[in-house]
Amino acid sequence: MERQKPADPAAVEQLLRGTAEQAGVKAAALIHGTRVAVTGRAVSAGLFEVLSLLGVERTVQRLRRAVSYPPTP
Each residue's pLDDT tens digit, 34-67: 999 999 999 999 999 999 999 989 999 999 999 9
Q: Are 63 and 51 in contact (CB under 8 A)?
A: no
The 3-class secondary structure across 14-37, one letter per residue, is: HHHHHHHHHHCCCHHHHHHHHHHH
- How many Cβ atoms are within 10 Å of 73's Cβ, its own excluded? 3
d(CA 35, CA 46): 9
pLDDT of residue 1: 37
With cut-offs at 50, 70 and 90, classify the pLDDT of residue 2.
Answer: very low
> What are the sequence ranges of the domains in the chain?
1-13+23-45+54-73
d(CA 47, CA 37): 11
What is the DSSP-derived secondary structure letter of residue 36? H
